[in-house]
Amino acid sequence: MRKTIFIADNFEHEISDLRKSLIASGYEVRVVAKHEEIFPQIQQSNPHLIIIETRLQNLDLEKLLNKIKGHVDFALTPLVLTGNPRTTDEKIKYLRYEIDEFFYKPFEPEELIVRLETLLKEAEMAHERVPASSGGFNGSLSEMTLVDLLQTMDVGKKTGIITLRRNSREGFTYVTKGEVMSASLEDLEPKSAILRMFTWTSGFFSVQMNQHHASKHISLTAQELISEGITRQYRWKKLAKELPPLQTVAQKATQQFENLNKDESLIAEMVNGKARFIDIVENSPFDDIKALRILKKLFENSVIQGLANSFTKTDENAISDFGNTNGDQSNTGQLESMFAKVLKHSEHFNPPGFDRRRADRRRDDRSEADRRLGYRAYPGNISLNKSELIMFRNKLIAEIQQSN
């Protein structure tokens, strides 16, 4: 089955070569030139990737993007913008939208197709994630990082496997009764693997509450690992703020490397004008924080720089909430019925005495916390933590998909 690429662009002369190259590469291409035709045609063609020109006449770009990403059928569809922004503020505005990449015109069709194929592969991986079930939950790393997940497993003394996926990388963390037993990521040692995954704040996770046979390869306790993860996230965020966006391609600003030490020279040699800052960090032989610190020093000393107009955003998209209601009463009523149906599943559940008392204590603790924070407690209110909200969301999405 051929994959469909949807293009919304009224500059025919700017996309004709791209269209021909896509067709020659085996893709089906749909093109529209009017803003009012975009969403209806997307619904009709159900494309694998969407490209939108920012300069379409009378286009409310933000509203359209929200409509596309808010639709359950297109939440994971790669979304690309194209155009020729004239100012830095205009560029930043586009990059802040929930998109996967921005292509600057004019572009080379061959290069563009390679980048589109990368986005399509990442989308396939996202669709292949382990589905949520009663034995686990999944979501976006922008919502819950590995630190958050380990805290959840530790508090509940749970046993299971945490799977993280970012771009083409996939890592696993094995937990037994809240304690981390081992971790794996490519050819890294278990401790190095989990330390690297602590800095992942984009991509997807899935948690399966299954038994496993992983042996103890990480000596640190869960609390020690969580503390280390929080520290690493803080250091990573602080260092990243002093560099160009890590999805930017790095290039050499000078060929004079005589004042660099051995480690700095090794990192500088990895800068080839094609690899992004994040790629250099992940492919370096050093610890992530050390590699990022070296990149920061090289950048501050004008040894390297970010390549202009090379910023890309990848796999930031998690499954969206249900639909774009826009005040539509039928959609609102449908959403309310979905909530009622999901909540009804546990309406008559009567837990054993011990579990019931533990649930009562949790409820009382939350009520007390809400009181201290100044929130008013009303009879019948439901308090959920982050992991419970994600599990609830997954059940809600499953009900929506079944209803469709």
CB 39 within 8 A of CB 67: yes
- With a CB cutoff of 8 Å and minimum separation 6, the contacts of 60 are 35
How high is the pLDDT of residue 187? Answer: 85
Mean pLDDT of the chain: 79
Q: How far apart are CA 81 and CA 104, in angstroms?
A: 9
Quick one: pLDDT band at residue 8, thresholds 50, 70, 90?
A: very high
Rounded distance between C-alpha atoms, residue 167 and residue 175, angstroms:
24
Average pLDDT (80-108) is: 84
pLDDT band for position 144 (50/70/90)? Answer: confident
CA atoms 55, 56, 59, 60: torsion sign: negative
Kindly tell me if the per-residue pLDDT of 322 is higher than 50: no
Comparison of pLDDT for 31 and 327, the residue scoring more? 31
Position 85 scores a pLDDT of 86
Q: Which span out of 87-96, 230-239, 359-368 was modeled with the highest average pLDDT?
A: 230-239
3-state secondary structure 61-114: HHHHHHHHHCCCCCCCCCEEEEECCCCHHHHHHHHCCCCCEEEECCCCHHHHHH
Written as one string, the DSSP assignment of 70-85 is: TSTTTTTS-EEEEE--
Distance CA 268, CA 280 (A): 9
Contact between 200 and 166 (Cβ < 8 Å): yes
Q: What is the pLDDT of residues 203-237, one digit of tens each?
A: 888 898 888 888 899 999 999 999 999 999 999 99
The backbone torsions φ and ψ at residue 208, rounded to the nearest 5 degrees and listed phi first, read: -115, 120
Q: Is 202 a residue whose pLDDT tops 90? A: no
C-alpha–C-alpha distance, residues 30 and 6, integer Å: 5
Residue 38 is predicted with a pLDDT of 94
Q: With beta carbons less than 8 A apart as the criterion, state whether 220 and 203 touch.
A: no
Q: Determine phi and psi for 97, rounding to 5 degrees.
A: -70, 160
Residue 174: is its pLDDT beyond 60? yes
CA distance 239 to 241: 5
Q: Cis link prior to 106 (omega < 30° from 0)?
A: yes
| pLDDT over 50 (residue 372) | no
Residues 6+ apart with CB under 8 A from 305: 244, 250, 251, 252, 253, 299
Q: Look up residue 195 and give its two tokens.
A: 């330390």
Q: Residue 175, SS3?
A: strand
For residue 349, pLDDT beyond 50: no
Q: pLDDT, tens digit, for every residue of 289-320?
A: 999 999 999 999 999 998 866 555 544 433 33
- 0.75 cut: is pTM over it? no
Q: How would residue 373 be classed by pLDDT, with cut points 50, 70 and 90? A: very low
Q: Are 51 and 82 in contact (CB under 8 A)?
A: yes
- pLDDT for 352 equals 47
Predicted confidence at residue 118, as pLDDT, reads 84
pLDDT at residue 132, rounded to an integer: 45
Q: Which tokens sit at 62?
A: 């933000």
